[in-house]
Structures are given as C-alpha cells and as structure tokens.
Structure 1
C-alpha cells in the first residue's frame, strides 16, 4: 500500500500554476496509481473541500478510490454520507503529474488557498497537503501552541500511541 508522504517542502509556483512535486512524493504517487508505470504520469486527486478549508488535500489515485468506497459504504441517505459526498467527492479534482514532474494547480484552486508565489507541501502519511506557507505557519503555530500548553513542556508526541493501545 502506498501512503508514506512525510516531511515538508517548499517550491515556487509559476504564473501558469505549475509547481514541482517533491521527488519522494512523486514516487508515492506512482505507487498509488496502477497505470503510472505505463503512462509515466501518475494520477492523483486534489480535494479542495468546503469554503473555510485553507489547504488542498492530495490523495493517491488508489487512496482516493478507497476513500470513495468507504463513503459509499455508509448508509445511503445518511447525514454523514451526504456531507462526505459534498465535501470530499463533489469538491475534488483529478489530475496527473506532468512530464516534468510538476502539478498544474488551476487558478480557482490557487485562489481558494490564496497561493501566490510559493507552495508549502506537508506530508501527512496517506495524503499530503498544499498550503500558502504563511497560512500553514499560522495554523500550525496556533494548533501546536494550544496543544503544548495543555500537555506540558515535557510532552512526547509518541505518548499518543499509548492511548490507542499500541
């Protein structure tokens, strides 16, 4: 199973919305698309979500298909399914890596996250996110500071695994 997007990267976005995809992320995208070996251009799905979402969430092609199957497995007509269909299935855009290892972000997606000259890539395991760097820094600082205040100065993030019985 593909899905080890880790680390952080920052790349320039050109006037046409082209941005290089980190090489290690491209390898994961290739592993997550069964047709990538034939085409040389791995597919992915960008979820741009609700209006308040400040980042783009990028799934491998297979990862998104699994997510869509999980949504389809919810009871037909249930509130959870309706919301997930609207926020994840309806507000998504399939695309592929271009021949130069770049992603072309259409203007509406760049406008949504206020992306101008630089994109910040945040690896999150099964997915990665694309942010305006300043927005990511502000959101990350707010979340981290609040969490650390609640946990104390000697907090070890690995201790969260203990809560899961791991």
Structure 2
C-alpha cells in the first residue's frame, strides 16, 4: 500500500527519485500513465494487470469507454528504476502533467501519483474546502 506525500525535483535529464518507501511496492519496473486531474499514475505491474482486466470488461461499443481506454493506454509507458532509485518520466507524460522541475509524489493506496507542485497545491486548496462534503457523500457509494 502506498501512503504519504514527498516533495522532489526532476533533474536535468527528466529523472525523479522514487521515494524509498515506494520502491519495493513499485518494483524495478512499473507502468506510468496519464492520470486524472492532470497528474501521472504509477502502477506496479500486478495492479496494472488488474486494472487492464477491468478496462477490458467494459463495453467497447460505448464511445466514452473507447475514448477513456484509448487515452489511458496510449499514454502508458514502462519505467525502470536505476540503482540510485531514479526513473525517467517520459516527455509526453511530463508535458501532460505540466511537470517541469518541482514535483510532489503521493501514495494513494494501490497507486502512486506524481504532480507538478503548483497543481498539487491548487488541488489541495480546492479539495480541502470540500473534504467534509466528499466524505458525507461516500454513504451513497456504500462506504
């Protein structure tokens, strides 16, 4: 399980340091893809395969399903962690997430999210204002 928030910087080669607490869970190679809210999602291979199976079970005859699956898989890339615990974030993914230098790496249970620091701070401010309201609505989801 991935938990916590870590602030890091990309180096000049577009590499980020994977927090030590996340390295074992992500493994030596993992999948990075375009996430929601303009962040990146990082998945260990077993979790990626589970997600892939769920997406395969959706009705491909629906236009919205095709669009989501196309967007999600076309942005995916296999990433490898080097001996120093760094990985290169591919340019298209960095551009999508507006990542330039300062990043925030967040553990979100079964995945890791990578955010441009400014976008993360904006998200926290907006989401923080509605945190209680969101929690109250979890009843509707059977939580």
Bin for the TM-score computed over the shorter chain = 0.7 to 0.9
Pick from 15, 28, 34: which aligns with 1:48?
34
Contact kept? 2:75, 2:93, Cα under 8 Å: no
Inter-CA distance 81–165: structure 2 relative to 1 (3 Å threshold): closer
What secondary structure is seen at the aligned counterpart in 2 of 1:144? Answer: helix
Aligned equivalents of 2:112 and 2:121: distance in 1?
16
**Residues 47-74 of structure 1: CA deviation (Å, up to 9, x unaligned):** 1158xx4111111111111111111122
CA RMSD of aligned residues (A): 2.4
Higher relative contact order (CA 8 A, sep 6+): 2
Alignment of 1:81-96 (within 5 A): 81-96=65-80
Q: Structure 2: any 5+ residue segments left out of the alignment?
A: none
Larger Rg: 1
Contact kept? 2:77, 2:90, Cα under 8 Å: no
Q: Structure 1: any 5+ residue segments left out of the alignment?
A: 31-41, 152-156
Contact kept? 1:10, 1:119, Cα under 8 Å: yes
Stretch moving more, 98-107 or 72-81: 72-81
Partner of 1:7: 4
Deviation for aligned residue 1:136? 0.5
Partner of 2:26: 29
Instruction: Give the TM-score normalised by the residue count of structure 2.
Output: 0.85
Aligned equivalents of 2:130 and 2:141: distance in 1?
22
Partner of 1:154: none
Pick from 89, 108, 115: which aligns with 2:92?
108
Aligned equivalents of 1:112 and 1:78: distance in 2?
25
Task: Give the number of equivalent residue pairs.
Answer: 143
Deviation for aligned residue 1:162? 6.0
Inter-CA distance 74–139: structure 2 relative to 1 (3 Å threshold): same
